[in-house]
Chain A
C-alpha cells in the first residue's frame, strides 16, 4: 500500500487510451473469433451471435421475439438497427469504449469517495478494471455484459456525484437489460441521499431525508415505464416481455454458463420446477435489506457487496459480472489490511478460472467428461466468489473495530 504510484505510465490519461488501443488490436488480431461462442464469456442473453440473428430477423420484418432464441432487450434491437451498425468491428470498438467509460466512471467514483479532484491511484484503479481478465475477455468475445457493467458503474458514478436523474436513468436502462438490477435501487437511493465518502471506520445511524425517497423511486419507475413504451414500440407487441424479462424467471434456456442455476434445472422434475424457480428468484431479494441496514453508514459499500452477490446468484451470469465486483474492490483500499485470506481467494479464483474452460472443453468438445465436471468447476467458481464476498464483508465491518488494543474489549452497542 505504500509503494509510490507516481510513475508517469500510470496516469489516467495514459492508461485509458493505451488499454483501449490494446483491446482493439487484440480484437483485430482475431481473438474475438476464438472467444465468440465461449459459454463463460457470453450467456444466451448476452451473446453477440444471438444479437446478430435478432437484428437479421428484425430487418426482414419478422418478429424476433416469436421464435424463442432471441433474448436481448428491444432497446438493443432498436439501437443496433438504427443508430449503431452491427458489424463485429464496430461492436468491438463499442465495447472497448464502454470499458473505457466504465473505467473512467470507476475512477470518478473513487475520486468522489476520496473527495479529491484527482489522485495518484487513478491509473491503477482504471487498470484494475481494464486489465482484469474477467472484464477483458467478455468484451473481446463481443458479449453485451460489459455494457451492463458500464451502465452500473455509470449509475454509481452519477449517484456519487449526487446527480439523481442520470443515475436513475442508467439504472433504468440496466434494468431493461437485466431485471435483477432493480435490486440495486435501495442502496443507490441511499447513496443518492447520503454521500459516497468512506464511513466504514465510523459507523453511525444513517440520517437522510425520508421524504425524498418516494419522488426518486417514482422517477426511476417513470424512466422504466418510458423505456418499456419504447421497447414495445420497437417490438410491435408485448412478446418481448416474456422473452427477455421472463427468461430470468422461467429459465427456458439451459445453456451451460458459470452460474449455479442451469445444472439444477437440467435435472429437475417438471413437478418441482415452478417452486424452485420461485425459490431461486426470491432468494436474491433476501440480501438487499440486511446489506442496506448493516452498511447504512456507507451505502456504496453495500452496493459493492450486492454486486458480488448478484454476480454469484443470478440466473445467466457471465465472467464480466464477477469482474465488476473484483475490480470495484480497488476503490476500497481501506479494507485491504483487514482482509483475512486474500491469497486464498485469489488462488481459488485462479483455480476456477483454469478449471472452467478446461472442463467445458472436456465435456463439450472432447467428450471424455460429462456435465458434472463443468458443474463442479462452476461450484469452485461460486466458492471463490463466496470467499471474496465474505472476506470483503468481514473487512468492511472489521474496520469499524479498529486496531486491537491490549486490555480493551470491543462491544457492540
Chain B
C-alpha cells in the first residue's frame, strides 16, 4: 500500500514539475509576445463587461441610463454582445411614463439615444438580484442558464464591472428589497481569482458613498474607482424638461463624455480617465484604489478594459522571422499583400514614427523582401501559365496534324 502511494505521489510530482517547466517556457513565450508590442504590457486576450443597474421605477431613469451609457461605450470600442452581461432592473425605454418610448437618452436635450439600435439586455427586471449577480460573477449558475447569461471568462480575460444604483456605506441597494455588501463583492472577486476567471478587473461604481464599496477588496489585479467618498452623495447631472426626470448621473456623464472622444486605437490611459473627472463639477470626490493593481495607471490603456482590441503578430512562414505588429487595434502587417502604404494611415502617426525609429532595419528589410518575393512569385506563376498553354497548344497542333 505504502509503496503504491509513494509511487503515485512521485508520478504526480514529476508530471506537475514537467508541466510547470513546459508551461514556464510557454509562459515566457506568451509574456514575450505581450511584452514586445506596445507599452500597454497587458496580458489579456479577451474582454468582458458586467454592467449592472440595480434600481427600478421611473424616477431611477438615470441609473438605467448610466448602465446603458457604459454598454454603448464598451460595444462601440469593440466588446461584442456575447461578452457583455447587461443587467437592468427596470425597463425605462418602454415605461408607460416615457414620453419618448423606445429610447433612453443620456443628456438633457436628448441628443444621444442609448437605446436606439441593437441593445441586448441579459438580466432584466426581477432577474437582477444579488444572488444572480454573484452567480454570474463566480460562474456558479444553474445548468439551465443560457449561454448569453453566463460570464464565460478565463484567466486571460479583462473584466469591466460597472454598478449603478442607490448605495451607502459599504452596501448597494438592489431593487428596493435587498442589498449587496462590499464584503460580498470582495468575496465574489476572490472566488473569481481562485477559479482563475479573470486576468484583471476594473470595478467602477456610481452610487452614493461609492468608494466604500471597493474598500473591502483583497484579491490581486483589481483596479477600482468610485464616484464619491464615504459620507458624500453622488449627484445626478441634470434632468430633461420633457422627460421630467434626471437622465444621467454626473460622474457617469463625465466618464461618457471622455469615452465619446475615444476610439479603438486610442492610447489614452486610465490615469487620463481618473484625472479628467473634476470634483467641483460633480460635487463629490471620486476615488481610485490601485494598490491591488500591478501595472502603473499611466501605462494602462482605457481600451484594456473598455475595448475589445487585441495584439496581433504576423509570422512570416518562409523567412521564419517574426514581424511585429507594433500597432494596437488589430492591424497586423501582411507581408504578402502590397497594402503597406495604406496601413500607415491606420496607425497614429507619432506611434508609427517611434516604432520605426526603434526598428528601422527589420521593417525595410521585410518590405523589400516581400516585394521581391511577390515579383518572383508573379514571374514564376506567369512562366508556369505560359508553359501550360504551350503544352496545350502543342497538343492542339498535334491533333490537327493527325486529322
Contacts and interface: CB of A to CB of B under 8 A. Distances in A.
Q: A and B from one assembly?
A: yes
B378 A82 contact: no
Interface stretch (A31-39, A54-62, A140-148, A321-329): A54-62
Interface in B363-403: 373-374, 376-378, 380-382, 384-389, 391-392, 395-396, 399-400, 402-403
Interface string A189-218: 000000000000000000000000000000
Interface residues of A, number: 27
Contact of A230 (B337, B373, B374, B388): B388
B15 interface: no
B336 interface: yes
Q: Which 4 A-B pairs have the closest CB atoms?
A: A61-B377, A78-B388, A230-B388, A81-B385
Contacts of A164: 403
Interface residues of B, number: 24
A230 B392 contact: yes
Interface in A155-172: 163-166, 169
A77 B377 contact: no
Contacts of A74: 388
Nearest to B395: A226
Nearest to A80: B385
Contacts, number: 74
A55 to B, nearest CB: 10
A227 B395 contact: yes
B385 A163 contact: no
A165 B387 contact: no
Given A81-B381, A164-B403, 11 more contacts: A59-B382, A60-B374, A60-B377, A61-B377, A61-B381, A81-B382, A83-B389, A165-B403, A230-B387, A230-B388, A234-B385
B403 A166 contact: yes
Contacts of A230: 387-388, 391-392
A363 interface: no
A75 B336 contact: no
Interface of B: 336-337, 373-374, 376-378, 380-382, 384-389, 391-392, 395-396, 399-400, 402-403
A296 to B, nearest CB: 26
B252 to A, nearest CB: 39
Contacts of A5: none
A82 B403 contact: no
A166 B399 contact: yes
B91 to A, nearest CB: 28
A410 to B, nearest CB: 43
Main SS of the interface on chain A? helix
Of the listed residues A62, A231, A233, the one surrounded by the most CB atoms of chain B closer than 10 A to its CB is: A233
B395 A61 contact: no
Contacts of B384: 78, 233-234, 236
Contact of B385 (A60, A82, A229): A82
A82 B396 CA distance: 17
A61 B388 CA distance: 16
Given A78-B388, A227-B392, A62 B336 contact: yes
A223 interface: yes
18 contacts: A58-B385, A59-B381, A59-B382, A60-B377, A75-B392, A77-B385, A81-B385, A82-B382, A83-B389, A165-B399, A165-B403, A169-B395, A223-B395, A226-B395, A231-B388, A233-B387, A234-B387, A236-B380
B373 A229 contact: no
Contact of B374 (A58, A61, A82, A236): A61
Contacts of B381: 58-59, 61, 81, 234, 236
Interface string A212-251: 0000000000010011011101101000000000000000
Of the listed residues B337, B384, B402, the one surrounded by the most CB atoms of chain A closer than 10 A to its CB is: B384
Contacts of B402: 165
Given A59-B381, A233-B384, A234-B385, A78 B392 contact: yes
A79 interface: yes
A61 B374 CA distance: 6
A60 B336 contact: yes
Contacts of A233: 384, 387-388, 391
Contact of A62 (B376, B377, B396, B403): B377
A156 to B, nearest CB: 16
Given A58-B381, A59-B378, A169-B396, A78 B373 contact: no
Contacts of A78: 384-386, 388-389, 392
Contact of B380 (A61, A75, A166, A229): A61
B399 to A, nearest CB: 4
B121 to A, nearest CB: 25
Nearest to A235: B384
Contacts of A58: 381, 385
Contacts of B378: 59-61
Nearest to A57: B381
Nearest to B391: A230
A54 B199 CA distance: 43
